[in-house]
């Protein structure tokens, strides 16, 4: 166990963590993949496909640059040499204050070749949060775009840890890439690289919790390899597959699903600086992409544009993976109806490397539509072979099909632990499974497989008069109302019931929906206690950089109704 991990767990928690990182029929020591490290995987795939394209990059103006496997390995090896010149060795932490860009990917893989740990930073985060991460993770080197240099220096001014700050060129992808490549040309690939074990720390991703400082999720090479392998096998990816990546790679979805999974299958990826709704389908046609990984907000933008995709040759494009945020049955139905492209809904967390379950890709259209739209919530699918899933009560006891409880996971993609957060580790692994903090249930399909559903974050449950209500239930009703573009149920503080229920609604353009009409529509499907009592209209939703809605940030909008007692009006005779 690494020195850093000693600070992260209580001694009595280690057996529980070990259990949570094992399958019932495959302990942690029996590795899920034959590879020892991500670097070894890259070297093996480069030997197999040296001249095949691995990475193509697009910015706002279109394609910028492409790299074969051999060219990419060369650049990553040069980054490893640069890091060695700065004194970086196995176990040191390297941060990136950058965005989706080939330079960022070079740095990730260069660090992994050395056994260093990558700490991705979100440029959009507040300075206070970034400063905490740099200090907490004891980062040794920061790579930053030129326009982030002064910010990085200020963030680190009070950090006593010895460090280096490396400029990577303009944040403009088109101009910055050549600058960084010229910098790397001063370094040759190291004559030898360390032999790493699968337990080598690879990534620390900081999660943005609702309270307290962010928690650092420690993932090792075995985690990354196991999840990428399982995702690739579930979706039957092979060297002919080509992903389009539109999600930020400072998050595990962008990193694991659309960088490492294509690498594992020997395929390729088209990395976009960000999601461009106006060119999404055209890029898929031009680059002959076969799949993509998105969040529900991306689906909503595509549905809103409603492009005629028959103008594009999308014959190679098979399906879209969707997760990392609440998908409603209405949005799932709308997307598949408009575009006739299968949605493979899934679920996972940073703490489980990324995905833990998906809908099977072998489902015929009626069966997939049933699981997406006919069960009250879109099913998040069946567990991947890399892990096991269950529904537990508060005491860690398994619950039967249909009964709601906490989604728990164990397997080879479960994190090592939270860094330097022993109390959080003790609670998270209390029963020998990873406790997700998400409420859900499962149903058994005709194929005999368990199909899981998520009904909300346990900490986001609305507790009205001592009764728990899932906001996801209410979201489904709100988003099915004609004229609603997007909506969320919000539990707000109330003097009479502890919490009361409101609705934050974004209307479709031209809609004249009123508060009264929305509440009346909800009352047709929900009892008074569960129905929104107040509607607040807005134009935008607070979201994270990965497109997740931040429900709790809407609560202040309902503060004016804190002292109001809402009563059900009884019909008069």
Least confident of 259-268, 294-303, 562-571: 562-571
Distance of alpha carbon 254 from alpha carbon 449, whole angstroms? 28
State yes or no: pLDDT of 546 exceeds 90. Answer: no
| pLDDT > 50? residue 44 | yes
Which pLDDT does position 464 carry in this prediction? 85
- Alpha-carbon distance 260 to 264, whole Å? 6
pTM of the model: 0.86
For residue range 352-372, list pLDDT tens digits in order.
999 999 999 999 999 999 999
Distance CA 17, CA 21 (A): 6
Instruction: Domains for the chain: give ranges and CATH numbers.
Output: 1-30+388-458 (2.30.38.10), 461-561 (3.30.300.30)
φ, ψ dihedrals at 542, nearest 5°: -70, 125
Helix axes 173-184, 69-85, angle to 10 degrees: 60
Q: Across 263-422, where does the E strand assignment appear?
A: 268-272, 291-294, 319-322, 343-348, 355-358, 382-383, 387-392, 405-411, 417-418
Q: Is the pLDDT of residue 109 over 60?
A: yes
Look at the block and give the residue holding tokens 């999308």: 314
The per-residue pLDDT for range 390-402, each reduced to its tens digit, is 999 999 999 999 9
Assess whether pLDDT exceeds 50 at residue 1: no
Condensed to tens digits (0 to 9), the pLDDT of residues 91-103 reads 999 999 999 999 9
Sort strands 319-322 and 291-294 into parallel, antiparallel or unpaired: parallel
Cα 376 to Cα 147, 281, 320, 327, 501: the distances in Å are 47, 30, 21, 12, 20
Contact 202, 391 (CB under 8 A): no
In three-state secondary structure terms, 391 is: strand
């Amino acid at each position: 166990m690494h020195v850093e991990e000693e600070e992260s767990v209580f001694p009595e928690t280690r057996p529980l963590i070990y259990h949570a990182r094992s399958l019932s029929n495959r302990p942690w020591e029996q590795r899920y993949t034959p590879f020892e490290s991500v670097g070894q995987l890259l070297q093996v795939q480069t030997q197999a496909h040296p001249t095949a394209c691995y990475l193509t990059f697009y910015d706002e103006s279109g394609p910028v640059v492409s790299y074969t496997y051999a060219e990419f390995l060369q650049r990553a090896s040069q980054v490893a040499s640069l890091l060695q010149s700065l004194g970086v060795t196995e176990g040191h932490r390297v941060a990136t204050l950058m965005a989706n860009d080939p330079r960022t990917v070079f740095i990730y893989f260069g660090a992994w070749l050395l056994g260093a740990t990558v700490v991705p930073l979100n440029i959009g985060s507040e300075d206070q949060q970034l400063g905490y991460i740099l200090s907490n993770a004891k980062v040794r080197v920061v790579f930053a775009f030129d326009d982030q240099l002064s910010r990085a220096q200020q963030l680190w001014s009070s950090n006593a840890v010895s460090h280096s700050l490396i400029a990577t060129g303009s944040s403009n992808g088109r101009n910055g890439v050549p600058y960084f490549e010229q910098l790397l040309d001063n370094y040759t690939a190291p004559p030898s690289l360390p032999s790493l074990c699968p337990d080598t720390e690879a990534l620390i991703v900081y999660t943005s919790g609702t309270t307290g400082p962010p928690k650092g999720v420690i993932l090792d090479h075995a985690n990354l390899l196991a999840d990428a392998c399982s995702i690739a096998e579930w979706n039957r990816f092979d060297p002919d597959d080509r992903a389009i990546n539109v999600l930020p790679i400072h998050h595990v979805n962008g990193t694991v699903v659309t960088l490492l999974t294509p690498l594992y299958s020997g395929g390729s990826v088209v990395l976009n600086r960000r999601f461009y709704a106006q060119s999404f389908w055209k890029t898929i046609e031009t680059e002959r992409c076969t799949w993509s990984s998105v969040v529900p907000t991306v689906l909503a933008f595509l549905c809103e544009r409603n492009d005629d995709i028959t103008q594009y040759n999308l014959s190679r494009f098979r399906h879209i993976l969707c997760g990392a945020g609440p998908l409603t049955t209405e949005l799932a139905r709308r997307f598949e109806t408009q575009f006739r492209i299968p949605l493979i809904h899934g679920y996972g967390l940073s703490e489980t490397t990324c995905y833990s379950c998906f809908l099977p890709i072998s489902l015929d259209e009626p069966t997939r539509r049933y699981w997406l739209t006919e069960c009250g919530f879109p099913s998040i699918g069946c567990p991947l072979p890399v892990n096991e899933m269950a529904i537990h009560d508060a005491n860690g006891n398994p619950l039967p099909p249909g009964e709601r409880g906490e989604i728990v996971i164990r397997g080879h993609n479960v994190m090592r632990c939270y860094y330097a957060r022993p109390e959080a580790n003790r609670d998270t692994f209390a029963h020998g499974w990873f406790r997700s903090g998400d409420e859900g249930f499962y149903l058994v399909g005709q194929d005999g497989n368990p199909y899981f559903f998520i009904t909300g974050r346990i900490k986001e449950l609305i507790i009205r008069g001592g009764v728990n209500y899932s906001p996801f239930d209410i979201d489904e009703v709100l988003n099915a109302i004609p004229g609603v573009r997007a909506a969320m149920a919000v539990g707000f503080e109330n003097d009479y019931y502890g919490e009361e229920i409101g609705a934050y609604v974004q209307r479709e353009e031209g809609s004249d929906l009123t508060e009264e009409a929305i509440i009346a529509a909800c009352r047709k499907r929900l009892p008074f206690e569960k129905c929104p009592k107040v509607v607040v209209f807005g134009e935008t939703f607070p979201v994270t950089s990965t497109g997740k809605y931040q429900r709790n940030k809407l609560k202040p909008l309902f503060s004016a109704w804190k002292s109001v007692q809402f009563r059900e009006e009884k019909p008069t005779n």
